Amino acid sequence: MTAPSHTSSYYAASANDKNIRPELTGEVTADVCVIGAGFTGLSTAIHLAESGFKVVVVEASRIGFGASGRNGGQIVHSYSRDMDFITKHYGKQTGDEMGAMAFEGGKIIRRLVKDYNIQCDLKDGGIFAACNSKQLKELEGKKALWESHGHTELEMLTESSIQQYVGTDRYSGGLLDKSGGHFHPLNLVLGEAAAFESLGGVIYEASPVTRVEEGAKAKIHSARGCVTADYVVVAGNAYLNGLIPKLEQKAMPCGTQVITTEPLSEQQQKELLPQDNCVEDCNYLLDYFRLSGDGRLIYGGGVTYGAREPSKIESLIVPKMLKTFPQLKNTRIDYAWTGNFLLTLMRLPQFGRIGTNIYYAQGYSGHGVTSSHLAGRVLSDAIQGQAERYDVFASLPQYPFPGGRAFRVPYTAIGAAYYNLRDKLGI
């Protein structure tokens, strides 16, 4: 079998670790078997290994092959739907309990980077940019909401002050989150893999799990091996590809696309993003961008429902980039790629258990960098018998996408078209 490779991205080209781990062969036993080596899987694995558990991670392709190795690399707190929505739908107690965890994922990332000396170009500071006055007002509400849940590092930016952070006149203002930030996502996930291995953990790559057997001890099978474990954690998110249909019926893979320019001069970098912060705008179909460690602009946006590969990513994303930064008109694009995140109907993560010992966490709905790290901690605690925080997530309803798989694409694409129109009209 030829070794699988990463999608051809800027991240893959600048990865710190290009070694491939062995394929799963023969019979292996462990306390916990994690399926999927992305942020969810590795955060779970590290937290368990730090507590002395024998953990193996089985990855279909390469470490960070999925969204974790392809994303915008932005530390964005809270969930795709915020605490006001959660409180309104599920009550104050649930809103407060989710609020108490909403800023933890970023702390977990920073703790792992520090404790394991992970080289991933981590920088502080993220900006939510408002495209109109309605969005700016909503950001004021977000600031008040987050502050009411204990977050203190926020500052409103006016139409003129945001230009000290983002070199465009496109925005009506914004919200600076000093505890947001950005990093090279593939190098973070590879560093997490190395951290896990330093704790005695074992990772198998190129080993798609084809079957999960329930039982007092669960057993997972790949083409040439199997793992028997007290617990299994399913962390395949949008890349699960039919392994557990009842999980896949609850959510829909969506593609989002990213481009990377050639390295920019220091003067250009200072012009575009003088404080080297990351930025996402407040549209439903949002643009997100930042500088890489070697001074390229990484610009993402666009959503293709149903995870289709867009034939021409550049023609989709370059116009968005030029709308924000027309001065990049003659700049070369060196990389373009797509990746899948997992959308749920309520845009809230889905945590749960199949039988007594097969756990899962999925469906962060585009806001998964911090939530996936939090999920790993929460699942690890639950497996160790501290399930209070897991129970909060697991109590949120998990609806199927209406109409089954065949109807999911048109249904939500219509929704996206509506939101796109709303964004354009500023309503």
Ligand X SMILES: Cc1cc2nc3c(=O)[nH]c(=O)nc-3n(C[C@H](O)[C@H](O)[C@H](O)COP(=O)(O)OP(=O)(O)OC[C@H]3O[C@@H](n4cnc5c(N)ncnc54)[C@H](O)[C@@H]3O)c2cc1C
Q: How far is the CB of 414 from ligand X (least distance, A)?
A: 22
Beta strand residue intervals within 169-282, DSSP E: 173-182, 202-204, 211-213, 218-221, 225-234, 251-261, 278-281
Residue whose CB is less far from ligand X, 134 or 353: 353
Lookup: tokens for 412: 């939500």
Q: Is 109 in the site for ligand X (CB under 6 A)?
A: no
Q: Report helix, strand or coil for 76.
A: coil
Q: How far is the CB of 346 from ligand X (least distance, A)?
A: 16
Choice from 240, 298, 307, 321 touching ligand X (CB under 6 A): 240
Residue nearest to ligand X (CB): 368
3-state helix/strand/coil string of 148-167: HCCCCCEEEECCCHHHHCCC
Sign for the pseudo-dihedral over CA of 94, 95, 96, 97: positive
Q: How far is the CB of 265 from ligand X (least distance, A)?
A: 25
Total number of residues that touch ligand X (CB under 6 A) = 45
Select from 234, 208, 401 the least CA-distant residue to 306. 401
Quick one: 197 exposed, middle or buried, by C-beta within 10 A (0-12, 13-18, 19+)?
Answer: middle
Cross-strand bridge partners of residue 350: 362
Q: How far is the CB of 223 from ligand X (least distance, A)?
A: 11
Q: Is 61 in the site for ligand X (CB under 6 A)?
A: yes
Q: Is 101 in the site for ligand X (CB under 6 A)?
A: no
**Cα(287)–Cα(281) distance, integer angstroms:** 6
Q: Is 373 in the site for ligand X (CB under 6 A)?
A: no
Residue whose CB is less far from ligand X, 338 or 357: 338
- Site pattern 154..183 for ligand X (x: CB under 6 A): ------------------------------
Lookup: tokens for 370: 């911090």
Lookup: tokens for 49: 């290994």
Q: Is 335 in the site for ligand X (CB under 6 A)?
A: no
Lookup: tokens for 124: 């502080």
Choice from 21, 47, 70, 373 touching ligand X (CB under 6 A): 70
The DSSP-derived string for 330-375 is TPPEEEEEEEEEEEETTSS-EEEEETTTEEEEE--TT-HHHHHHHH
Report whether 282 contacts 171 (CB < 8 A).
no
Choice from 165, 299, 335, 364 touching ligand X (CB under 6 A): 364
Other CB atoms closer than 10 Å to residue 293's CB: what's the count? 15
Q: Is 74 in the site for ligand X (CB under 6 A)?
A: yes
Choice from 174, 181, 201, 300 touching ligand X (CB under 6 A): 300
Q: Is 281 in the site for ligand X (CB under 6 A)?
A: no
**Cα(47)–Cα(192) distance, integer angstroms:** 11
Q: Is 250 in the site for ligand X (CB under 6 A)?
A: no
Residue whose CB is less far from ligand X, 153 or 159: 153
Q: Is 58 in the site for ligand X (CB under 6 A)?
A: yes
Choice from 209, 279, 346, 396 touching ligand X (CB under 6 A): 209
Q: Which residues are at the interface with ligand X (CB under 6 A)?
A: 35-41, 58-61, 65-68, 70-74, 76, 208-209, 235-241, 243, 256, 258, 288, 300, 339-341, 364, 366-370, 372
